[in-house]
Amino acid sequence: MEQHMSEIVTAAFIVIGDEILSGRTKDKNIGHIADILTSVGVDLKEVRIVSDDEDAIIDAVNALRARYTYVFTSGGIGPTHDDITADSISKAFDLPCEHDVAAIELLRDYYKGRDIEFNEARQRMARMPKGATHIANPISIAPGFRIGNVHVMAGVPSIFRAMLDNVLPTLETGAKLISTTTPCPFGEGIISTPLGQIQKDNPEAIIGSYPKLAESGNFMTDIVVRARSEEVLERTTGAVRALVARLLTEQDTGQ
Amino acid sequence: MEQHMSEIVTAAFIVIGDEILSGRTKDKNIGHIADILTSVGVDLKEVRIVSDDEDAIIDAVNALRARYTYVFTSGGIGPTHDDITADSISKAFDLPCEHDVAAIELLRDYYKGRDIEFNEARQRMARMPKGATHIANPISIAPGFRIGNVHVMAGVPSIFRAMLDNVLPTLETGAKLISTTTPCPFGEGIISTPLGQIQKDNPEAIIGSYPKLAESGNFMTDIVVRARSEEVLERTTGAVRALVARLLTEQDTGQ
């Protein structure tokens, strides 16, 4: 993993699947990839969930691969008629979608060892855009693939996670965004104005405030400061903590 | 809720917030709105998660409101500096973002009753595009709003759900997509080809197969059939069940 301390590396994630949009399946990959990319200094800038529809997939892939350093996808790479990701990505890149020779061999060996017929449907899982490289799948063998800056992975969470682990060492990563969280017993209505001033005074930091409804019915907030340097993080967090301390001595707890 | 049995009503959902993209907060609204919209016959076609960035919000809102019957958003309508949804939606519609008189009154009464100062930050929560109508917030009073076909709601899940409940009766809904699920002890490698044939024979139905990794390490699948008429659903589900029954008598359980 090559690290560029000064460069900002960005990413988008595309979840492909009608089952997420219908509510039948609850996505478990968005939160995971967000955590992982943040931890290695890649900024996840956008997520899209699209249906099993060729035009929808092509539009999303082409819009996002032009805009961000990396694109990741999940879903639609199995053997059934509704698994159209490989074809759609190939069309997005204007490349033929072919049975990859190395993937065919991997799968042939795998099924042979389990005495299972390597039928036409299973061979479908070896299809990918011409020139793509594999993303290894230690769980069910059928590989994901990378073409250009787009990484195509399975939707089943255990396989998605294993594939993402295999992709990470190949990524260029940026200066890691580090953060602090300061819990604040006051709602946004109290902290908003002085917090806005701290943001203005510390433009290199990114300050977010996240309201939580306490059991008492009052709002509290978590104030999160993010920065790419320890120095900016410490200075800004110090200002936030001083604000909370001041409010604790001055304010009622009304929201 | 006016129902148009023949018409297909579509929707997109935009989640606004850096905290979801950084992994700090795990989204809890996508699965909920997917369930709710499916249950009332509105097809959720696309979800986007975008950062607290004006251009990103405007681009997403304008792309999606032109494409789908309804757009819903969550997040960014609180009183702090990073709450820029009202301004961004106003710009997307090329409308001024103003303090809404009725919202100011609601909030003034609410804070007066609680003996809390109705300061400038809290007044920010009354801002919305000129001409917008309220979406009532029974929990913390500050309303969401509807402008054109776009419904702007809070990100805090309890408030999001309450606002969505208040929006539902105002929506036109389409012919509801009804479904059956047939659990199948075989993996996609076995069912793919005959299932593809059932899909071809029943073009009005939407057949999906969702692999699950069993504890034994084998793949099983849930075969989901969706249709807008009982008759299509029954015919197609019958064909799926006959397939599973046939495989159960013929096949080994290899994946």
- CATH number at B163 reads 3.40.980.10
Residue B252 is predicted with a pLDDT of: 58
Instruction: Mark whether B120 and B225 lie in a shared domain.
Output: no
Instruction: Mark whether A204 and A86 lie in a shared domain.
Output: no
Residue A254 is predicted with a pLDDT of: 47
Instruction: Mark whether B125 and B218 lie in a shared domain.
Output: no
Instruction: Mark whether B161 and B88 lie in a shared domain.
Output: yes
The residue among B209 and A255 whose pLDDT is bigger is B209
Instruction: Mark whether B60 and B21 lie in a shared domain.
Output: yes
**Structural domain contains residue B143:** yes
Residue A115 is predicted with a pLDDT of: 86
**Structural domain contains residue B255:** no
Record the tokens describing residue B199, joined without a space. 């899909």
Q: Is it the case that residue B5 has pLDDT exceeding 60?
A: no
Instruction: Mark whether A246 and A154 lie in a shared domain.
Output: no
For the segment A231-248, the average pLDDT, to the nearest whole number, is 94
Angle at B86 between CA B138 and CA B60, to 5 degrees: 110
B31/A35 touch (CB, cutoff 8 Å), yes or no: no
- CATH number at B215 reads 3.30.70
Instruction: Mark whether A82 and A134 lie in a shared domain.
Output: yes
**Structural domain contains residue B101:** yes
For the segment B52-61, the average pLDDT, to the nearest whole number, is 97
Residue B168 is predicted with a pLDDT of: 93
Nearest residue in chain B measured CA to CA from A46: B50
Q: Which domain holds residue B77?
A: 2-174
Q: Is it the case that residue A121 has pLDDT exceeding 70?
A: yes
Instruction: Mark whether B66 and B186 lie in a shared domain.
Output: no
Tally of domains within chain A: 2
Residue B255 is predicted with a pLDDT of: 43
Instruction: Mark whether A13 and A134 lie in a shared domain.
Output: yes
B188/A121 touch (CB, cutoff 8 Å), yes or no: yes
**Structural domain contains residue B193:** yes
Record the tokens describing residue B66, joined without a space. 């032109």
Q: What is the DSSP string of chain A?
A: --EESS--EEEEEEEE-HHHHTSSS---SHHHHHHHHHHHTEEEEEEEEE-S-HHHHHHHHHHHHHHSSEEEEES--SSSTT--HHHHHHHHTT--EEE-HHHHHHHHHHHHHTT----HHHHHTTEEETT-EEEEETTTEEEEEEETTEEEE-SSHHHHHHHHHHHGGGS-EES--EEEEEEESS-HHHHHHHHHHHHHH-TTSEEEEEEEE-TTS-EEEEEEEEESSHHHHHHHHHHHHHHHHHHHHH-----
Distance from CA of A22 to the nearest CA of B (A): 5
Nearest residue in chain B measured CA to CA from A207: B82
Whole-number Å distance between alpha carbons of A228 and B107: 38
Contacts of B65 (CB under 8 A, 6+ apart): B71, B92, B148, B149, B150
Residue B131 DSSP code: T
CB A225 within 8 A of CB A182: yes
Q: Which residues of chain A does B15 touch, with a Cβ-Cβ cutoff of 8 Å?
A: 47
A145 has which bridge partners?
A134, A152
Of A174, A207, A239, which residue is a domain's last? A174
Q: Is it the case that residue A5 has pLDDT exceeding 60?
A: no
Considering only the beta carbons, identify the residue of A45, A50, A255 that sits closest to B116: A255
CB B65 within 8 A of CB A66: no
Q: Is it the case that residue A25 has pLDDT exceeding 70?
A: yes
Q: Is it the case that residue B7 has pLDDT exceeding 80?
A: no
Q: Is B117 helix (H, G, I), strand (E, B) or coil?
A: coil
Whole-number Å distance between alpha carbons of A157 and A144: 13
**Structural domain contains residue A255:** no
Whole-number Å distance between alpha carbons of B67 and B61: 10
Of A174, A199, A217, which residue is a domain's last? A174
Q: Is it the case that residue A255 has pLDDT exceeding 60?
A: no
Instruction: Mark whether A43 and A135 lie in a shared domain.
Output: yes
Record the tokens describing residue A151, joined without a space. 């990484």
pLDDT cut 90: percent of chain A above it:
73
**Structural domain contains residue A185:** yes
Instruction: Mark whether A98 and A8 lie in a shared domain.
Output: yes
| Residue B83: band (very low, low, confident or very high) from pLDDT cuts 50, 70, 90 | very high
pLDDT, one tens digit per residue, over A31-44 is 999 999 998 999 99
Nearest residue in chain B measured CA to CA from A254: B116
Q: Is it the case that residue A114 has pLDDT exceeding 90?
A: no
Nearest residue in chain B measured CA to CA from A196: B81
Torsions phi, psi for A2 (to 5 deg) = -85, 130
Distance from CA of A133 to the nearest CA of B (A): 23
For the segment B36-42, the average pLDDT, to the nearest whole number, is 92
CB A86 within 8 A of CB A152: yes
Residue A32 is predicted with a pLDDT of: 96
**Structural domain contains residue A32:** yes
A189/B79 touch (CB, cutoff 8 Å), yes or no: yes
Whole-number Å distance between alpha carbons of A143 and A136: 5
Considering only the beta carbons, identify the residue of A80, A122, A207 that sits closest to B195: A80
Of A124, A146, A174, which residue is a domain's last? A174
Residue A6 is predicted with a pLDDT of: 53
The residue among A42 and B189 whose pLDDT is bigger is A42
Find the range with the poorest average confidence among A234-248, B58-72, B121-135, B176-190.
B176-190
Q: Is it the case that residue A247 has pLDDT exceeding 80?
A: yes
Residue B254 is predicted with a pLDDT of: 47
pLDDT cut 90: percent of chain B above it:
73
B23/A46 touch (CB, cutoff 8 Å), yes or no: no
Mean pLDDT, chain B, whole residue set: 91
Instruction: Mark whether B169 and B112 lie in a shared domain.
Output: yes
Q: Is it the case that residue A1 has pLDDT exceeding 80?
A: no
**Structural domain contains residue A41:** yes
